[in-house]
Amino acid sequence: MEFDAATIARFLQGEIEGDPGTTVNTIAKIEEGHPGALSFLANPKYEQFLYTTGSSIVLVNKSFVPSARVEATMIRVEDAYEAFASLLRLVDQARPRKKGIHPTAVIEKSASVGADIYIGPYAYIGENSSVGEGSLVYPHVFIGDNAKVGKNCTINPGVKIYHDCIIGNNCVIHAGSVIGSDGFGFAPQSESEFMKIPQLGNVVLEDNVEIGANVAIDRATMGSTIIRKGVKLDNLIQIAHNVEIGENTVMAGQTGIAGSTKVGKNCMFAGQVGIAGHLKIADGVKIGAQSGIHSDVKQENSVLLGYPAIDHRDFARSSIVFKQLPEMSRKLRELERQLELLRKQAE
C-alpha cells in the first residue's frame, strides 16, 4: 500500500514540512532509511541520521529544531513515537485476516465458538469451552475443558490454555505460552520426599491483556491467579500461583513473581526482576533491571534498583562507593600494616 505525506499528516493531525505529494510504501529505521520508506525521530541520540537518511518521510516532534538541512519531507506531530505506533497499527489492521475452521481442528461437541472466527490446523477446543466471536486461534493451540476465550482475541501457535481458565476480550497470547499450568506446590514429607499439593484454582486474564512468547502463568492453588485489564507481559516471564497483577502494569523479559504476591496497578518492571512470595507492591512502582524485592513495597510510585532493591538515588550513590571498594580495601590493608609496625616499635 502506498500513502502520500498529505494523507499521513491528516491521519496524524500533523504539519508537513516539504512536499505533500511525497509517497511511501514501507517503513524503516531512520539510520537504515531508503527511498519510499517512512521513519521517525523521537530519541535525540538518533538526530544525526535525520540529515543523512534516505527515507522519504520522517515523523518528528513539533518541538524539534533541526541543526542542518533535512532532505526528507518532515511531518511534525505531538509525539513522534506515538504517531509512528499509530501508523503501525493501521498497517497491521490492513493485513488480510484469516477466517474459517480448518478441517484438522478438533472442536468438542459441547464447546461453542462465535461468529467470524479462525481456528487453525490441529487446534483443540475442549469440552464445555468457548471461543468468542472475532477471535483467532492459530495452529496447535490447546484450549482445555471449561476454558473461556473472549471476543477478538489472538491466540498464537502452540499456546496452551488449561482447563477452567478464563481469557477476557481483546487479549493477545504469543506462541508457546502456557496459561494455567500447576503452581509449584509441594509439601515436605521427609528429608528427601515431597507430596504434590493439588492446584484446584484457575487463571483469569481480564480484557486487553497481552502475553509474550513462552510465558508461564500458574493456576492458583485455590481461587484465581489474576492478570488485571491492560497488563502487558514480555517474553519468558514466570507468574506463580495466586499472584495478582494490577491494571496496566508492564513487565520486561525474564521477570519472575513468586506465589501469592500482589502487584499494584501502573507498575513498570525492567528485565530479570525477581519478587519473593506473599508480598505487596504498591501502585506505580518502577523496578530496575535485575533487581530483587524481598519485602513489601508500601510507597506508591517508588523507583527501586539493586539487590536487595533500594531507592534509585541511594543506589546511584552506593554504586560510586562500589567502584571505590578495591582501592579502599588496599588502603585499609596498608593502614593495618603501618599500625602493626607502630605497635611493634612501641613494644
**Catalytic residue list:** 241
Q: How far is CA 322 from CA 274, 298, 305, 315, 327, in A?
A: 22, 27, 14, 10, 10
d(CA 176, CA 180): 13
Give the other-Cβ count within 10 Å of 123's Cβ. 24
d(CA 211, CA 217): 10
Q: Any idea what the Cα angle at residue 212 is, between residues 211 and 214, rounded to 5°?
A: 110
Contact at 8 Å (CB) between 179 and 153? no
Torsion-angle region of 330 (φ positive above 0: left; ψ -120 to 50: alpha; else: beta): alpha
SS3 content of the chain, % helix, strand, coil (to 5): 20, 30, 50
Contact at 8 Å (CB) between 119 and 134? no
Question: Can you read off the three cell numbers belonging to residue 184?
Answer: 509449584
Question: Can you read off the three cell numbers belonging to residue 327?
Answer: 582501592
Query: In whole angstroms, how large is the CA radius of gyration of the chain?
Result: 27
Question: Using omega within 30 degrees of 0 as the cis cutoff, is the peptide bond preceding 198 cis?
Answer: no
To the nearest 10°, report the CA torsion of 318, 321, 322, 327. -170
